[in-house]
Copies of this chain bind each other. A is one copy, B any other.
Amino acid sequence: MKRVFAAAATCAALCAALPAAAQFAKPEDAVRYRQNVMWLMSNHFGRVGAMVQGKVPFDAKAAADNADLVAMFSRLPYVAYVPGTESIANTKALPEVWSQRDKFDAAASNFQDKAAKLDVAAKSGNLDQIKTAFGDAAQSCKACHDNFRAK
């Protein structure tokens, strides 16, 4: 397991196309990294959602700031789904993340695209545009969770 992880980490370190290439001292760090990012992303996404759902008053600047963070966070977690982390005790990532990696990467890419569009919509300050973009992003969260995350 450790050798597989080390090889994957080396591979990730060489992948210069990735922003902030993943380098984790141990598999547990990779799991914690992606979990922390997902939790924070969900927190900021939820703050936009509260406005979209009318639970808190619409604040264009807060919506834009939060959507900007969601888009930033959306670029971070996927490099941390390195092989060797599928058996870490507290991960909810299903084996399909690795056995259907192309499908997982496509789902991740789709979400990143929808998060970027939410960011653009939020910068417009138009609540209707934000509602539509938020719904699309939420659907892409769910699609990935349905297939790749334990309930």
Contact = CB atoms under 8 A, between A and B. Distances in A.
Interface stretch (A16-24, A93-101, A140-148): A16-24
A50 to B, nearest CB: 7
A33 B56 CA distance: 20
Q: How big is the A interface, by class?
A: 20 to 34
Interface stretch (A40-48, A111-119, A130-138): A40-48
A146 to B, nearest CB: 24
Contacts of A32: 39
A44 B20 contact: yes
Contacts of A21: 62, 65
Question: 8 closest pairs, A vs B, by CB?
Answer: A36-B36, A20-B65, A19-B65, A20-B66, A36-B40, A36-B39, A20-B69, A23-B47
